[in-house]
Amino acid sequence: MTLVDIEVELERRRGVLDLQSIVESAAEFLEDAPAREIIRWAAATFGDRMCLTSSMSDALLIDLVSRVKPGVDVLFIDTGYHFAETIGTRDAVEAVYDVNLINVTPSRTVAEQDRDLGPRLHGRNPDLCCFLRKVEPLNRALEPYLAWISGIRRDESPTRTGTKVVEWDAKRQMVKVNPIARWTQEDVDNYIADNGVLINPLHYDNYPSIGCAPCTRRVADGEDARSGRWAGLGKIECGIHL
């Protein structure tokens, strides 16, 4: 390693430490703040080095963030397995909201993955399929940014109960902002209704949580909202938020 390489690495580490200290103070200061105030803080702190991600289940987060930061980058992971309704929602979002929509794709098409790893990997090894088609593409897409905004909430699953409104994403060495972490489903429904937010039409067909088509089923009355994801596979997360 040359002297220049050492200096670059030291500067990178100093930057990481600075970001971590920002996260610690912001997480405490913003814990009880409204979602829009959390977003304003993120936009003021990170500017164009901030993006948000959306699964296109609805455009709630997109509506919230674009009101604070018009033209914000929105990353959508096009796995190649999405419902047609999800792709339609993505296209509608791009047409309606003041955002820069970035379509993120895996390194292999579905056909190439089937050729290399065998068909229906999602049924045989869903964790690997999610990694190849969701986690790895998102990791690449997030590299230019210092912070990303997600729409996860504490009430969605047991793995999300400890979510902070601002936290350090150690896996990606960047800041993760969760402005609606404290919201309930009732809060979500009220915001969508009050603001005319675009919503994936599959919600009206008993799909309260929408992922890839082969791994998502309708949910019966009384079932948990996420029970239709990876049903029977003992899996509740794709790996993006772990």
Cβ-contact 74, 102 below 8 angstroms: yes
Res 239: pLDDT: 65
- Determine phi and psi for 187, rounding to 5 degrees: -60, -45
Tens digit of each residue's pLDDT (9 = 90 or more) over 202-223: 999 999 889 999 999 999 887 8
Of 16, 13, 29, 11, whose CA–CA distance to 168 is shortest? 16
Q: Write out residues in the chain with pLDDT < 70, as ranges.
A: 1-17, 232, 234, 236-237, 239, 242
Is 238 designated active site? Answer: yes
Coil/strand/helix, residue 119: coil
Residue 41's contacts (CB-CB under 8 Å, 6 or more residues apart) are 26, 30, 33
Residue 227's contacts (CB-CB under 8 Å, 6 or more residues apart) are 219
d(CA 146, CA 150): 14
> Dihedral of CA 59/61/62/66: which sign?
positive
User: For residue 239, is it left (φ>0), alpha (ψ between -120 and 50) or beta?
Assistant: left
Q: How far is CA 108 from CA 53, 192, 207, 218, in A?
A: 21, 35, 28, 28
Identified catalytic residue from 51, 212, 215, 238: 238
Residue 100's contacts (CB-CB under 8 Å, 6 or more residues apart) are 71, 72, 73, 74
Res 7: pLDDT: 43
Kindly report whether the global pTM for this prediction surpasses the value 0.85.
Answer: yes
d(CA 55, CA 59): 9
Coil/strand/helix, residue 199: strand
